[in-house]
Amino acid sequence: MSRGLRHLALKTRDLRATERFYIDVLGLKPAFPHEGMIFLETPGGQDLLNFVGTRARFDPEAGGFDHFGLHFARPQWKKVCARVKQARVPIRGRRGTSAIYIEDPNGYTVELYCD
């Protein structure tokens, strides 16, 4: 039996923009439909990103949240980095030659990395 983190639920004010970003730019796959939310499969794992639609304003930097990371095999990472560049998503930081940090449409920092 698997134990540990299964999903991360984050707020979004724009489900469609969030879905397009994570599917079209980062290459995640929809996991299953759910009213008012999206569940996305992370690369190479059984973990899910869950975005919950909200109309309320929120600060993604509040509460000590720093970033979350998505791990890719190197060939997929290179493809994702190319899609990020093509989509003109600004790179906010780097860690060596195997990780970049970007901001999603909600203001969350996302680390894209490979080993």
Report pLDDT digits (tens) over 39-76: 999 887 788 999 999 888 888 777 767 789 898 989 99
- Residue 112's contacts (CB-CB under 8 Å, 6 or more residues apart) are 26, 69, 70, 72, 77, 80, 81, 84, 99, 100, 101, 102
- Is residue 85 in a domain? yes
- Is residue 2 in a domain? no
- Is residue 61 in a domain? no
pLDDT of residue 67: 87
Q: Mean of the pLDDT values across residues 8-16? A: 91
The residue segments making up the domain with residue 22 are: 7-55+66-113
Structural domain count of the chain: 1
pLDDT of residue 1: 44
- Mean pLDDT, the chain, integer: 89
The CATH code of the domain that includes 27 is 3.10.180.10
- Is residue 26 in a domain? yes
- Is residue 1 in a domain? no
For residue 23, what pLDDT band results from cuts at 50, 70 and 90? Answer: very high
Q: Which residue has the higher pLDDT, 4 or 65?
A: 65
- Is residue 36 in a domain? yes
- Is residue 88 in a domain? yes
- Is residue 87 in a domain? yes
Q: Mean of the pLDDT values across residues 67-93? A: 94
For 112, the token pair is 């894209």
